[in-house]
Amino acid sequence: MSDMQERLIDLESRLMHQEKLYEQLNEVVTEQAALIERLQREINRLKEQILAGPNEDVNEPPPHY
């Protein structure tokens, strides 16, 4: 095998490895984006609950008393 063929094979190998890493990183970024969106919705829901005030009488004892 010539030196040029070996270099070409090495470059193709590296490219395949880089493409695989790119796909894996893309999956991670996509999952993180979805998680961030869910957490933002949850934070907004909790803010709305806090701003709406308590849903029950604060002075009323819990049902197990």
3-state per-residue secondary structure call for the chain: CCHHHHHHHHHHHHHHHHHHHHHHHHHHHHHHHHHHHHHHHHHHHHHHHHHHCCCCCCCCCCCCC
63 against 24, higher pLDDT:
24
Does residue 47 sit within a domain?
Answer: yes
What tens digit of pLDDT does each residue of 23-61 get?
Answer: 999 999 999 999 999 999 999 999 999 999 877 666 777
Q: How many domains does the chain have?
A: 1
- The range of the structural domain enclosing residue 45 comes to 24-52
Does residue 43 sit within a domain?
Answer: yes
Task: Give the span between the Cα atoms of 25 and 36, in whole angstroms.
Answer: 16
